[in-house]
Amino acid sequence: MYNISLITGDGIGPEISESAISILETINDRFMLKFTIDKLEAGDRVLNKTGHALPTETISSIKKSTACLKAPVGESASDVIVFLRQKLNLYANVRPIKSYPNMSALKNNVDFVIVRENTEDLYMGNEFYINDDAAIAIRLVSKIASKKIATYACNIAKSRNILNKVTCVHKSNVMRKTDGLFVKTCEEISRSHNNIKFESMYVDACAMNIIRNPEKFDVIVTTNMFGDILSDEAAQISGSLGIAPSANIGDKYALFEPIHGAAFDIAGKKIANPVSIMLSTKMMLDWISTKYDDREAVFVAQRLENVIYETVQKNIKTKDIGGNYTTVEFTKEVINRI
């Protein structure tokens, strides 16, 4: 029995969380794999109620659970997710970018992974006002964190076994010390991995190449802020932000979430695409299968991905990807196929 802590979030968060709950309940009914779900509060609603976006009970429940599934939170996102990434040392943010059928996407046949360092860089919140008219931010890039993320990226490239290539994305021609250290460390680590090809690319060139020839990428490894920005771009060229999942992985804890935000503009309209949280659930099953050597979890993860693919292939889609199914209708279609 695995205990899943679920942050239901803000905006479209509660709507897509219901889809994730239905998927886990269906797995409970139809497979040997069993889950309990513990709904937790975090984000704007609890902030307005209590003055804290991330209650201490939520953190301790996550620590006690097998894994955390998280829907997007709103304005208080950085008080929740950035804090959790640091507090739980979820150092690797893994963002698969993959084409699905029947998308009005800019590019088809896209299949690469962005591995983003998740604990350092400008997102640590080290910002200060110098005076009323100027503020300063401090950027940390450490050798130890760079080594860990580079190792993680090389291992993903090896396990994918497609191009066996790691592209280190940086801006070391301008940020010579921080990004200089990052790219040098990534290169050193890649050399210690047999059969991994290493290339380095400036972030502006990478932003262009994601649009021009995304098929040339296999695994991108990059720092926190560049990874954040590039993954929204990459998700959009392959279809929609609404289909893009992610994993935040540490040595002890793991948290899975859509890459998109709370999308307040479509909240309550019943049109949110739940594929992002369904594929995040799939990533969670994959992680459980490795961590607990659970073969049933591998099988169910693959089954879930296949049925999402089949559903979209049959032109059953939400509005963002050119269909007219509601969140609930789409979820039912996926469940019927599981």
270 vs 243: CA distance, rounded Å: 16
Residues of span 295-324 touching ligand ATP by CB under 6 A = 320
Residue 246: name the closest of 262, 229, 260, 267 by CA. Answer: 260
Subset of 53-112 contacting ligand ATP (CB under 6 A): 77
Q: How far is the CB of 244 from ligand ATP (least distance, A)?
A: 9
Q: Which stretch binds ligand ATP (CB under 6 A): 45-53, 164-172, 173-181, 260-268?
A: 260-268
- Residue 170: CA atoms inside 13 Å, Cβ hemisphere, count? 27
> Residue 150 or 263: which CB sits closer to ligand ATP?
263
In the complex with ligand ATP, the residue whose CB is nearer, 12 or 27, is 12
Q: Least distance in Å: CB of 32 to ligand ATP?
A: 30
Name the minimum Å distance from CB 36 to ligand ATP.
25
- Smallest distance from ligand ATP to CB 272, Å: 4
Pick the piece of the chain touching ligand ATP (CB under 6 A) from 116-124, 152-160, 174-182, 258-266.
258-266
Q: Which stretch binds ligand ATP (CB under 6 A): 217-225, 271-279, 305-313, 330-338?
A: 271-279
Find out whether 52 and 46 touch, Cβ atoms under 8 Å. yes
Exposed/middle/buried for 136, CB within 10 Å: 0-12, 13-18, 19+? exposed
Say if CB 110 and CB 237 are below 8 A apart: yes
Q: State which of residues 33, 42, 189, 263 lies at the interface with ligand ATP (CB under 6 A).
A: 263
> For residue 322, what are its two tokens?
């050119």
CA distance 67 to 197: 33
Region of 86 please: left (phi>0), alpha (psi -120 to 50) or beta: alpha
Minimal CB distance residue for ligand ATP: 261
- Tell which residue, 12, 67, 9, has the closest CA to residue 318: 12
| Phi, psi (degrees; rounded to nearest 5) at 313 | -60, -30
- How far apart, in Å, are the Cα atoms of 48 and each of 52, 119, 307? 8, 27, 39
Judged by CB under 6 A, the stretch of 57-65, 98-106, 257-265, 282-290 that binds ligand ATP is 257-265
Of 80, 4, 99, 91, nearest to 42 (Cα)?
80
Closer residue to ligand ATP, CB minimum distance, 10 or 218: 10
Interaction between residue 272 and ligand ATP (CB under 6 A): yes
- 90/272 with CB nearer ligand ATP: 272
- The bridge status of strand 245-249 relative to strand 2-7 is unpaired
Do 297 and 286 contact (CB within 8 A), yes or no? yes
Site residues for ligand ATP, 219-248, by CB under 6 A, read: 241-242
Interaction with ligand ATP in 165-184: which residues (CB under 6 A)?
Answer: none
Q: Which residues bind ligand ATP (CB under 6 A)?
A: 12, 77, 241-242, 260-263, 265-266, 272-273, 276, 320
